[in-house]
A and B are shown apart, each in its own frame.
Chain A
Amino acid sequence: MIYAALGLVALIAVAMRAAGVEQMPALQNLYLIPVLWAAFARGTLGGILAGLEAGLVQSLSIFPFIERVGLSWPALGGVLSLSTPFSLGLMVGRLVDRSRGRDAQLDALLSIQRSLADSASLADRLNAVAELTRAALGVDRVRLVLETGHDASVAASAPTNFRPAELTPSAGATPCRRLVLGLDAGQGPVGALIIERDGDISATTRGLANALALHLSLALENARLTERQRHFAQELEEKVAGATRRLRELDQAKNEFLSVASHELRTPLTALQGFSELLLTRDVPPDRARRYLGHLQTESQRLGRIVGDLLDLSRIESGRGPTLQRVSVDLCAIIEANIEIFASQHPRHQFEWKVGTTLPPLCADRDAVDRILKNLLSNAIKYSPRGGRVRVEAGSATDRPEMVEFTVEDDGVGIPADALPRIFDPYVRIANPETAAAPGLGLGLSLVRGLAHAHGGSVEVESLPGKGSRFRVLLPR
């Protein structure tokens, strides 16, 4: 296109020369046609080249004229008509470039908005935006830095290896211009747009860059808000899912508890009903009646213990805590008594106990300490179905001198690591095929923790599946 315009300039010059009308000012305006054509076709470059050619061609007739008339007003008119095609070509070309720049800007903005709305990661989207910005502005290098909060930022470059660390003078033959624009959508800076070009960054490009930065700020802010909304929605979804899962677990625990509780309550009740009915309806010899009454007492005690546990747990969960009667407790005696009882009832297990020589006096609720120990021993036996060693130790806590500790250790089935955080929750029973038949409501450890906390103490557990468990109770002196 531009070659055709340049050819047309030459053609006009030859035609005017042939017709002998090259000095007619009105006809010299003909040169404006190819100049404007070139300017519309190729912008500033086209306008300048065609205008320059027209000026040079016209100068062939204007110079002799100037020589003839000397330095006069008509000569000045000749010089002005000489410069007209060049000036017009330059101006129109710049306008065309600016208009095309606006078009490119609009296209770029649409593409950028499309890229930002993409579902790719933010870094990928920024890379695409950096490349689009580079193409739209016609610069050599672009870097986009976006703050993501908490001193974190994400950056993208086009080309990807562009890292403008420090603004230093360029050493090459062409000076490197850099423009750094803050991205601010009206709510504080969200990032920065850095553009670099070897050579000039024209006023048109600067204007485009400013406009693009503003639109980019808004688009990035929108993208960020969308991202945040997406993040919140995902978080909410996860929370709802977690709550639903927890509700399901609670519902399942409730069902299991009802099932186990009804079984646990029915067993002693059945015994109570059966033996009392026997005693009422039959003539039972006195020694047998005595034995039945013994059973009745045992079962009613068991029933009372279950109801007591439930009541205590209910009080602990409601935040009231058990009522403690702190007295000086002989921990050694409690351990010895319980070991005797459990050893007599469970001959398959081997009980060991050891009390430190410097066991300090303990000020606690005797009944509570007894129940803690009983629950732990009961669990140790329950979860060692094949028998084994049960070891109890007591003494001053070496790591916390103000505390008294006692530990119950067994060689039982142990507790999986993922279940450890839940074992002190009420109604929780860890599924294990070996211990599934063992009775219990899942209240024991919860009660142990509640009683220890009520004293200002704590419970710790160490366990390895298949190796056994070790519970450590710490109580203040």
Chain B
Amino acid sequence: MSLLIHRFVSDRVARPSAIGWQLLLVAAAAGGLSGVGFAVDSAVGIERKLGHALASGAVHAGFLAMGWVLAFQARAGWSGPALRETSALIVASVVSRLSPAGAIAYLFIPLVVARDAAGWPTRLERIGWRWPREGRATLIGAASGVCLGLHLLFAASLMLGYHVEMPEARRYLAAVAYDIGANALTAEWLFRGAIFSALWRRWSFWPAAVASTALSLIRYLFDPALPQTAELIAGAMFYTLLLGLGSCALRAWSGSLLPGYLATVLFFAAYRVLLV
């Protein structure tokens, strides 16, 4: 039957070796910048640790750039947005280190990404850069983040004996701004957007969700900002696992990164009450 012998164009990743090289290039650049930042801090001994700020901005920018590479599948056009966003993130990171009020700069990062993404709606739709198919997905995402955040606060305060108290507003808002413009944005963009979307096209939902969530767990394991105590690492892994799988489910159901992004932002908003 003619129907059964139609050409099958599999949904495989185009030019995997080219993508690999470009990811390596981005990782090397981000790693190089981070190294420079740490080296500057240790050599010069700047009080405000601006070198650390450079490193933090470079790592998040690296995540965004990797997302662009995967979304473009090594085709030309990703470097411009990646460079713009890298600059913006480094500036925001340094400015926020100079003053908590400077963290407002992080709030511009989603706008910069949105402006860059507006030129490539079709390519970026593949990674979930679009509005959710159903409005309630946004509400469910927000509710998930709130529930997980409240659970974290309950578990920490009532069961583990942590003192929960609203921190100084300026510092708290600066941390939330960092989550909005860097932490949650880059995690959703790379792990749920680029990686999960690419894997989901090859595999079914669960393997793709577990693999992308495992990568995001590794990212948090190596996060120097996370306190390195056993129970906190276990707790972070537990919540990151739930958050990652939940965001993957929201991304798959709604077709959009927005619900998962909201869940992550709101969860971290609760987390900042505990740790800031």
Could you tell me which A residues sit within 8 Å of B by CB distance?
A: 52, 56, 59-61, 63-64, 66-67, 70-71, 145, 147, 165-175, 180, 182, 189, 191-192, 194, 199-200, 202
Contacts and interface: CB of A to CB of B under 8 A. Distances in A.
Nearest to A143: B3
CB-based closest 6 A-B pairs? A173-B255, A169-B11, A64-B159, A175-B201, A167-B8, A200-B204
A59 B8 contact: no
A124 B197 CA distance: 39
B126 interface: yes
B158 A60 contact: yes
Contacts, number: 78
A63 B126 contact: no
Interface string B72-109: 00000000000000000000000000000000000000
15 contacts: A56-B147, A61-B159, A63-B160, A145-B1, A166-B6, A167-B7, A169-B11, A170-B11, A172-B126, A173-B127, A173-B128, A174-B252, A199-B205, A200-B205, A202-B204
Main SS at interface, chain A: mixed
Contacts of A71: 230
Nearest to A71: B230
B244 to A, nearest CB: 14
Given A167-B7, A173-B255, A180-B4, A63 B235 contact: yes
Contacts of B126: 171-173
A59 B3 CA distance: 53
B168 interface: no
Contacts of A199: 205, 252
Contact of B160 (A52, A64, A171, A173): A64
B123 to A, nearest CB: 9
Interface in B1-54: 1, 3-4, 6-11
Nearest to A173: B255
Given A173-B125, A173-B128, A67 B4 contact: no
B201 A169 contact: yes
Contacts of A167: 6-9
Contacts of B6: 165-167
Contacts of A61: 159
Contact of B255 (A64, A174, A189): A174
A67 B238 contact: no
A167 B5 CA distance: 10
Contacts of A191: 1
B155 interface: yes
Interface residues of B, number: 37
Contacts of A170: 11
Contacts of B159: 60-61, 63-64
Main SS at interface, chain B: helix
B151 A56 contact: yes
B200 interface: yes
A200 B196 CA distance: 14
Given A167-B8, A189-B1, 4 more contacts: A61-B159, A169-B9, A173-B197, A174-B252
Interface in B198-256: 200-201, 204-205, 230-231, 234-235, 238, 242, 252, 255-256
B154 interface: yes
A67 B238 CA distance: 14
A192 B122 contact: no
B130 interface: yes
Contacts of A56: 147, 151
B138 to A, nearest CB: 15
Contacts of B161: 64
B1 A192 contact: yes
A199 B133 CA distance: 13
Nearest to B251: A173
B59 to A, nearest CB: 27
Contacts of A60: 151, 154-155, 158-159
B199 to A, nearest CB: 10
Nearest to A59: B155
Contact of B238 (A59, A192, A194): A59
A165 B201 CA distance: 20
Most central of B3, B4, B6 by chain A CB within 10 Å: B3
A194 B160 contact: no
B234 A66 contact: yes
Given A67-B160, A192-B1, A168 B9 contact: yes
B249 to A, nearest CB: 9
Contacts of B154: 60
B151 A172 contact: no
Given A64-B160, A66-B234, A182-B1, A171 B122 contact: yes
Contacts of B128: 173
